[in-house]
Amino acid sequence: MAADPPPGAVRPGGRTARVREAVLQAAGDTLVEKGFSGLDLGDIARLAEVGKTTVYRRWGTPGALAADLLKDMAATSLPRARNGSLEQDLRDNARLVVRTLTDPRQGRLFKALIAASLCDEEAARALHRFYAVRIEEWSGCVTDAIERGELPPGADPHRVIAAVSAPLYYALLNTGEPLDEAAADRAATAALTAARAGAI
């Protein structure tokens, strides 16, 4: 018979995990519908059908809740591509970003979380960690390419990956230009060209 977990431990799949899942789902729904300004912990508790005290004790502030949602999103994001070709890997990365940003739910959720990061320090730190996790995951594509001789040894894996998504987020937040497969491929090609030239 398995021993009980020590006091305070989180049992995988147990009540604590179910509460967190329900609360994060409710938080995501609220951010999509109302934005960060509509993220009220009492309302989240009601929507998630959990005790208000539990939500306030565990998260405490809307910023902390947004931060935990970003942590969960980073942990459950898709792994990097492994095509054996940096060009195709970068295209896959760019197309994944475009699919995410144009998804009816995910696109609005990201906009709300970016907005949250502009007015809440905890959300800002979480957003920075989210991007750091995703860039670290995909930087292996560049490291592999350097080992294959596709790029000069001085290429910076993190900067190359950041250069792929930067114009796509710029289009989302600033220019309103269409985000489609063609835009993804242009972003990937521009990053690859700069990397091959030793510019990043």
| Per-residue pLDDT tens digits for 37-60 | 999 999 999 999 999 999 999 999
> pLDDT value at position 176?
87
In this structure, the number of other CB atoms found within 10 A of the CB of residue 34 comes to 13
CA 126-132-137 angle, to 5 degrees, is 130
The structure tokens 């710029």 sit at 170
Residues carrying CATH 1.10.357.10, the chain: 73-196
> pLDDT value at position 9?
38
Residues carrying CATH 1.10.10.60, the chain: 15-61
CA 114 centroid distance within chain: 11
In this structure, the number of other CB atoms found within 10 A of the CB of residue 80 comes to 19
**Single pTM value for the model:** 0.85
Residue 11 confidence (pLDDT) above 60: no
**pLDDT classification of 7: cutoffs 50, 70, 90:** very low
Close Cβ partners of 110 (under 8 Å, ≥ 6 residues apart): 100, 101, 172
| Per-residue pLDDT tens digits for 134-186 | 999 999 999 999 999 999 999 999 999 999 999 999 999 899 899 999 999 99
The whole-number average pLDDT for the span 106-122 is 92
> pLDDT value at position 13?
57
Residue 139 vs residue 76, higher pLDDT: 139
Q: Residue 15: which of 40, 41, 47, 50 has the closest Cα?
A: 50
Architecture in CATH of 15-61: Orthogonal Bundle (1.10)
Is the domain spanning 73-196 CATH 3.30.70.600? The answer is no
Contact 26, 44 (CB under 8 A): yes
Q: What's the rounded Cα separation, in Å, for the pair 61 and 2?
A: 36
